[in-house]
Structure 1
Amino acid sequence: MLGAIAGDIIGSVYEFNNVKTKNFPLFCEDSSYTDDTIMTVAVADWLMHGGDLAQVMQHYGKTYPCPMGGYGGRFSIWLHEKNPKPYNSWGNGSAMRVSPVGWYFDSLEETMRVAKETAIVTHNHPEGIKGAQAVAAGIFLARNKKTKKDIKDFIEKTFGYDLNRTCDEIRPAYRFNESCQGTVPEAFIAFLESKDYEDAIRLAVSLGGDSDTLACITGGIAEAYHQYTLPTFIQEKVYALLDKDLRETVKEFINARIEWFSPSLLK
């Protein structure tokens, strides 16, 4: 899931200042984690320690009330409700926070089931559920060494997304889109077209639109596909930018499920 968090941080400064090129600084003075990272860590915490997912997410939202870019309007209200209920959202929030699920389970069926659980606390619209399941499934397949063709075929057949476009075709007219159906396919296309992890992030950000969420989704899949490794300088920068408690939860999750991760960065 570190790849998803790195994508969020890298894309953070371009969400409201889109770039339409792959040539941009990966990190700058204003780079920071957003609600994408906070809720991703909340899901990881819930997977490891259990409890009521809505309450765990509310805890994280109250602990980090003012992330870069803020929370979505309806989600922000949900975070402070005494008895939070799903609100039929089809937004891309369900897809941005689901990456830990793709790492956590040993079967695709369980991955899909729990991805739905993480969505429906807020995003119980069919498109919100579909977006979360697609991303989790993509990560599961990638970490199990499926080919890009295998991943593409499964996502298209199972979820009906059109993955036959190219980034060059998408980029000129693409604008901010907060929906799963307008974000998840584009994130997959950036991954499918990429040469390596960094290239995947650059392609995702270069599309414009909701840059941090696009790069978060793409980054989670690309990390898994490229055998769980990120360039060392990206790992180090991400850990340096995370709040201490977020960083420790991320490391706990990695230690618990990803034994092959770089030991030097888990100290």
Structure 2
Amino acid sequence: MYGAAAGDIVGSIYEIENLRSKDFPLFSAGSHFTDDTVLTAAIEEAILRWDEGDGELETLAVEELLHFFNAHPDAAYGGRFIEWARGPEQKPYGSFGNGSAMRISGAGFYAKTLEEAQQLAERVTAVTHNHPDGIRGAAAVASAILLAKTGTPKEEIRRYIDNNYYPVMFTLASIPKDYGFEAACSRSVPQALVAFFESDGFEDAIRNAISIGGDSDTIAAITGSVAEAAYGVPETIRSEVDRRLTPDIRAVFAAFGKKLDSRK
């Protein structure tokens, strides 16, 4: 969805050289989408095809992850995902990386119940990230999205995540100033969610996420996906995202939005 893409694009220029500030222009000439956006679109397309009865969700997830990887081969994927996509067989590789959480927003937005969000998250995640923490990270984000889009107060969402997934009863200010690149779900998903919990709007959530440092594009993509569910994406930000997307990704987002409207 657009929230994940917005966070990814804003964070794209700060992943290598962290900013650690909330004072920056959201978009610049170098802002671009990465694998976070590409694979978000892939999972959404798989869910759309599954909804239309086109096959088993797990099979469709593999097909679409491969399709979008091949369509966008230079989107800065993780090394193990590249090996999976280029390998002779696409088998899960035990990853607990935050790639599972960055691409999962479609499951949270499509689902109508917490149980459905968590089941969808596991099904589309385990085709690659079948480590318990890879699945946990995806399910935590999908759950937060489901709760946020149904109007659950942020503190209730926070307690739910804390009780069921990760400790999140900390503040952004308590995150060490030297917090560096952390790819594991357990060391990046909680931080991304706290950036949302401490926000007062979509843009503020993205600025919070960038201020953490670390894996900026992925943290902001995760934060943005939950922030979209709570606040929506401002049209000015959505327009900036749209003009940086390719037609195929833009088409998936549009089709997925229409599907969500039909399920209301």
Superposed displacement of residue 149, structure 1: 1.2
* Counterpart for residue 237 of structure 1: 240
Alignment of 1:66 onto 2:46: no
1:100-144 deviation line (CA, Å, top 9, x unaligned): 100101111111011001111111111100000000000000000
After superposing on structure 2, the runs of 4+ consecutive aligned residues of structure 1 that deviate more than 2 Å are: none
Corresponding residue of 1:56: 64
Alpha-carbon distance in structure 2 between the residues aligned to 1:249 and 1:127: 28
Name the aligned partner's letter for residue 22 of structure 1: K
User: How many matched pairs?
Assistant: 256
- TM-score in terms of structure 2 length: 0.94
Aligned CA-pair RMSD: 1.4
The answer as to whether partners of 2:158 and 2:169 remain within 8 angstroms in 1 is no
CA distance in 1, matches of 2:10, 2:262: 26
State the alpha-carbon separation in 2 of the partners of residues 133 and 14 from structure 1.
26
Q: Distance in 2 between matches of 1:48 and 1:31?
A: 28
What amino acid sits opposite 1:88 in the alignment?
A: G
**Displacement of 1:256 after TM fit?**
1.3
1:146 aligns with 2:152: yes
Match of 1:205 in 2: 210
Q: CA deviation at 1:173?
A: 2.7
Asked whether 1:246 is paired with 2:249, we answer: yes
Question: Cα deviations across residues 149-206 of structure 1 (Å, max 9, x unaligned)?
Answer: 11011111111x1212111111513111011001100011000001110000000011
- Amino acid across the alignment from 1:230: V
C-alpha distance in 2 between matches for 1:3 and 1:233: 13
Amino acid in the other structure paired with 2:164: T
- Is the 8 Å Cα contact of residues 15 and 209 (structure 1) preserved in structure 2? yes
User: Who is 1:263 aligned against?
Assistant: none
Instruction: Return the alpha-carbon distance in structure 1 between the equivalents of residues 179 and 124 of structure 2.
Output: 28
Query: Does the Cα contact within 8 Å between 1:6 and 1:219 map onto a contact in 2?
Result: yes
SS at match of 2:187: coil
Which residue does the alignment assign to 2:197? 192
1-structure distance, mates of 2:176, 2:256: 35
Task: Give the structure 1 partner of residue 29 of structure 2.
Answer: 29
Is this contact kept in 2: 1:21–1:206, CA < 8 A?
yes
Corresponding residue for residue 175 of structure 1? 180
Gaps of 5+ in 2: none
Q: Shift of the alpha carbon at 1:259? A: 6.3
Identity %: 43
> Please, which of 225, 232, 235 is the counterpart of residue 230 of structure 2?
225
**2:19 aligned counterpart, secondary structure:** coil
Deviation per residue, 1:208-231 (Å, 9 max, x gap): 0000000000001011111xx212
Paired with 1:114 and 1:20, the residues of 2 have a C-alpha distance of 34
Q: Which residue of 2 aligns with 1:14?
A: 14
Partner of 2:259: 256
- The answer as to 2:129 corresponding to 1:123 is yes
Structure 2 counterpart SS, 1:258: helix
Is the 1:171–1:208 Cα contact (8 Å) retained in structure 2?
no
Q: Cα distance, 1:55 vs. partner?
A: 1.7
Equivalent residue letter for 1:217: I
Partner of 2:220: 215
